[in-house]
Structure 1
């Protein structure tokens, strides 16, 4: 690698080391839990198949679930009564845990070996990875679920962190507002942060392909990100297997 200061993203200590067991973290955006129940049931069955394959190969997986509409609706109800960021975050965290409980119970119903309980901290989640697929929501105010997923990935020495959202790629600009926006297949952490913006300006319940707080922590922890459309099960399965996938790879260099 080049010396620090010459455009590199990470120093040598951030290089991943060889692991006998494949470890990955999957962040499921809360938006993926919206929509009709039939579509959800088909989708969660596909997620279960992917996780069953990983479990049968003795791989370790942590699934972190976002709040989506449930979080935004709850925050909207509270925002007229308080301007406390922590209070708004607590409502959002409760929504993530509700969604995580839904995902967890669905996986159990599909026969997946799921770790007991719903972890409320990064250390608790990492401590459960040998007992089954770990499913969790948020942890505490100021930490988005993207951020939680990235912290878990760092602590469990995961290969990478997969961000499954409702768009297929990171785009050069907002495709809803700019007709010339183009999908990006590979980018650096700094390039991602330039697109998602300043973590200090991030608000509870805000929408972003990757939230700025999570992007900042991924850069600091040197965790590579695979960003994809979580409803595209083929892309998701490929990413979970470490294969080429349809989406954006956020690299360390």
Structure 2
């Protein structure tokens, strides 16, 4: 059994409008307990941008007409660095590396936890999670956001949208398309989806705020979510 777990933490659960420290306290306690049970277990946490990303991107769009998408991406990336630095500080005793902002660069990963954030424009932190998973031999990415399952369509816009337990990569890619725009809201980013599909990885999308459910996924128990792949 692979002892590495890759958790892609959506900014929507780290900082939905401000930092959700109640959630982060629960995450801290539960992950520490999980890692203490088996010292060979390792976790990679990849942090999204959340509210800070949206607030700054929106500010730029309100000031500059036709704001450059690369500049918007950089604002989102810096927001992920802020969230990532917070997670790195929370787990500093278990994380010997500095915050990872280039998943292809030098990484020791001697501790039990590695914390990463945004890298460069053109995709979201989901793609960084796939790169790190490939690099360190992970086969499963747990993609945690504020939605419990992937739906056949956007449930906010389409009342007939249905939740899915499983979906193939081909079906999922047809749904999310193949282009990335800054702040794009999909269960898993199109660029990351293509890469994960090519590598035959599995991605579980679940509601990260339900910490018991997240721990069930980590332990290979029954859980609520959508398996892609």
TM-score w.r.t. the length of structure 2 is 0.90
Q: How many residues align?
A: 225
In structure 1, what is the equivalent of residue 218 of structure 2? 240
In 2, distance between residues paired with 1:36 and 1:149? 23
Deviating runs (4+, > 6 A) in structure 1? none
Q: Give 1:127-138 correspondences, 5 Å limit.
A: 127-138=107-118
Q: CA RMSD of the aligned region, Å? A: 2.0
In structure 1, what is the equivalent of residue 60 of structure 2? 78
In structure 2, what is the equivalent of residue 91 of structure 1? 75
Question: Contact 1:150–1:214 at 8 Å: present in 2 too?
Answer: yes
In 2, distance between residues paired with 1:88 and 1:140? 11
Q: Give 1:44-123 correspondences, 5 Å limit.
A: 44-56=24-36, 57=38, 58-79=40-61, 80-81=63-64, 83-108=67-92, 113-123=94-104
3-state DSSP of counterpart to 2:153? coil
Q: Give 1:1-253 correspondences, 5 Å limit.
A: 19=2, 22-35=3-16, 40-56=20-36, 57=38, 58-79=40-61, 80-81=63-64, 83-108=67-92, 113-124=94-105, 127-196=107-176, 198-200=177-179, 202-251=180-229
**Comparing 215-224 and 91-100, the one that deviates more:** 215-224
Structure 1 unaligned spans of 5+: 1-17
After superposition, give the CA deviation of every residue in 1:96-125 in whole Å (9 maximum; x if it has no partner).
0001112222334xxx51233111111347
TM-score w.r.t. the length of structure 1 is 0.82
In 1, distance between residues paired with 2:119 and 2:17? 28
In 1, distance between residues paired with 2:148 and 2:225? 5
> CA shift at 1:70, angstroms?
0.9
In 2, distance between residues paired with 1:237 and 1:128? 26
